[in-house]
Amino acid sequence: MSEDLSKDFIRQIIDQDILEDSSCQVVTRFPPEPNGFLHLGHAKSICLNFGVAAEKNGITFLRFDDTNPTKENEIFVESIKKDVTWLGFDWGKKLTHASDYFEQFYLAAISLIEKNLAYVDESTPEEIKISRGTLTKPGIDSPFRSRSAQENLDIFKRMRNGEFSDGKMILRAKIDMASPNMNLRDPAIYRIRHYQHQRTADKWCIYPMYDFAHALSDAFEGITYSLCTLEFEDHRPLYNWFVKQVETQHCPRQIEFSRLNLAYSLTSKRKLNDLIEKGVVDGWDDPRLVTISGMKRRGYPASAILDFCKRIGVTKKDNIIEMGVLENCVRKNLGDTSERRMGVLKPLKVTLSNYDEGQVEYLDAQNHPNFPDLGIRKMPFCRELYIESSDFLEDAPRKFFRLKPGGEVRLRYAYIIRCDEVIKNSNGEVIELICSYDVDTKSGTGKSDKKVKGTIHWVSAQHSITSEVRLYDRLFKIPDPANVDDIEASINPHSLEIVEAELESSFAEENAPKVFQLERNGYFCLDNMSEKKSFNRVVTLRDSWAKIEKQALNS
């Protein structure tokens, strides 16, 4: 495949533009609205906008679209800056806000009114909605559409001066009420909002609409490529109309690409906020969410998210990406970088009847099987141990190669043990195993050629550290929760399980890893946001949902 064909269509367009005009500079922007935290879809846009500019020694603006003070907050502004930085991108001195241009927007609106291209409409929202028509029926002119430019100028200035209440009137562009494109049927440009703005306080009581402010912000900043998702494709004629009629010095080019749709996840800020307010999730940084802060807290490396965005690419076709693609990127990254440790999530006590009480020996354990340079650690071994409860079955099937009555198994880095007795409580539940160990089978000694088919992990009961471990899974039990009426009914009841686990003693050391693999259990990290020391499961070792998804497709 040639280099050109291996590039996405946006990069091919940019390359062609530069070929035709070598003086063409790539200037992009990432324009989030500060009304919530960024999510994985934003990460794709960040990678695209910052990436294409960096490849051509261009510039990227981080611009906050702060035109709706009723929903925006400085907390969201700071979280967005942190997320962009965490992903590894730098906007330098190109940090801007739509509010930086409020005066210029106002003057641009004045110029449209003077050209008889905008008018003040006092119709009710319902009247405006009806008059706009449908996809098959043209709109009807507003009774206020024929107002003189002078009258519109006077009323619009009074709007700015705060003489009218919210919703009393709006400023509309005068384009074409019969246009087949609904966006061109005299869209709103300004609305009245008597609301404290986080940056401009009470200086303004009228605020520009997104389509107007966004197009002009791009033009004012000299953006060459306004890269946005496909839902804005029908807005492009309006975008170009605003830029042309305001007669800006610069004419940006809008190019649309497919948004990121990830299975078993939700990215709508409105719906996420609803889940937060109802207490379904803990907040914007809940590790079950695919917000950037949530993924960071869960333990997803920034490099894994970047790798994911690179893998899915940039296309014009909407599709749903399987969650397993993202999780595999995380596994690949952590598999090469995370030290191994042992821990038991659901402990079952094992007592070695023939091991001396009080005796402790320290066994060598590799920190990573593929990277000897990461060294070894010493694991204490004694009479009483913990193993995973799932590693024992009383009525085991023939091909169960872990521990069972009378059966033998190897303890990793240690000895072969045999289960001699099963102790149960009054409810018939197994609470302890009495086992014996074979002294000649210590790992690495070569004293015995005895073989067993199963190897399990363990920790010393005397030295283990009891820790809270949060086992996170997918938040939703259906692939497309965004398209259901009752989102709460689609919540996976097993998306979070909190257990008291027993971890090996090395976790008490000052240099204990913050991110690690618990052998046979998955990848985990220290939760820096938790009030007490706890660990999050980042991702399992295997995609346990792959079988479920396959069954669903075949059903």
For residues 388 and 322, membership in a common domain is answered with: no
Give the integer Cα–Cα distance in Å for 416 and 410. 4
- Is residue 483 situated within a structural domain? yes
Among 190, 145, 143, 186, smallest CA distance to 170 is for 190
DSSP per-residue codes, 370-406: T-GGG-EEEEEE-SEEEEEGGGB-TT--TT--SB-TT
Cα Rg of the chain (Å, integer): 31
Segments of 303-346 assigned E as strands: 320-321, 339-341, 343-344
Give the integer Cα–Cα distance in Å for 216 and 206. 17
pLDDT at 5: 53
For residues 223 and 87, membership in a common domain is answered with: yes
For residues 331 and 474, membership in a common domain is answered with: yes
For residues 281 and 302, membership in a common domain is answered with: yes
Which of 210, 231, 257 delimits the end of a domain?
257
The residues carrying an active-site annotation are: 33, 259, 269
Sheet with 515-518, strands from edge to edge, namely 339-341, 515-518, 522-526, 534-539, 465-472, 496-503, 343-344
- Is residue 16 situated within a structural domain? no
For residues 426 and 473, membership in a common domain is answered with: no
Whether 289 contacts 272, CB under 8 Å = yes
For residues 176 and 318, membership in a common domain is answered with: no
Give the integer Cα–Cα distance in Å for 66 and 76. 11
For residues 419 and 431, membership in a common domain is answered with: yes
| HSE of 530, CA atoms in CB hemisphere, 13 A | 16
For residues 146 and 196, membership in a common domain is answered with: yes
For residues 228 and 270, membership in a common domain is answered with: no
pLDDT at 64: 98
- Is residue 17 situated within a structural domain? no
Which of 456, 477, 512 delimits the end of a domain?
456
For residues 416 and 402, membership in a common domain is answered with: yes
Helices 302-312, 40-55: axis angle to 10 degrees equals 80
For residues 144 and 219, membership in a common domain is answered with: yes
CATH number, domain containing residue 88: 3.40.50.620
Residue found by looking up tokens 């949902």 in the block = 545
Give the integer Cα–Cα distance in Å for 485 and 392. 43
- Is residue 5 situated within a structural domain? no
For residues 273 and 250, membership in a common domain is answered with: no
- Is residue 144 situated within a structural domain? yes
Euclidean distance between the first and the last CA atom of the chain, given in angstroms as a whole number? 38
Whether 421 contacts 392, CB under 8 Å = no
Task: Give me the domain span that covers residue 505.
Answer: 262-339+467-554
- Is residue 13 situated within a structural domain? no
pLDDT at 369: 92
- Is residue 18 situated within a structural domain? no
Which of 257, 288, 307 delimits the end of a domain?
257
pLDDT at 244: 98
Instruction: Give Cβ neighbours of residue 112 (< 8 Å, ≥ 6 apart).
Output: 118, 173, 189, 245, 246
What is the reported pTM?
0.92
- Domain count along the chain: 3
Give the integer Cα–Cα distance in Å for 555 and 547. 12
Residue found by looking up tokens 């009030």 in the block = 531
Q: Would you give per-residue pLDDT tens digits along the chain (555 residues)? A: 444 557 999 999 999 999 999 888 999 999 999 999 999 999 999 999 999 999 999 999 999 999 999 999 999 999 999 999 999 999 999 999 999 999 999 999 999 999 999 999 999 999 999 999 999 999 999 999 999 999 999 999 999 999 999 999 999 999 999 999 999 999 999 999 999 999 999 999 999 999 999 999 999 999 999 999 999 999 999 999 999 999 999 999 999 999 999 999 999 999 999 999 999 999 999 999 999 999 999 999 999 999 999 999 999 998 899 999 999 999 999 998 999 999 999 999 999 999 999 999 999 999 999 999 999 999 999 999 999 999 999 999 989 999 999 999 999 999 999 999 999 999 999 999 999 999 999 998 878 889 999 999 999 999 999 999 999 999 999 999 988 989 999 999 999 999 999 999 999 999 999 999 999 999 999 998 777 789 999 999 987 665 555 444 444
CATH number, domain containing residue 444: 2.40.240.10
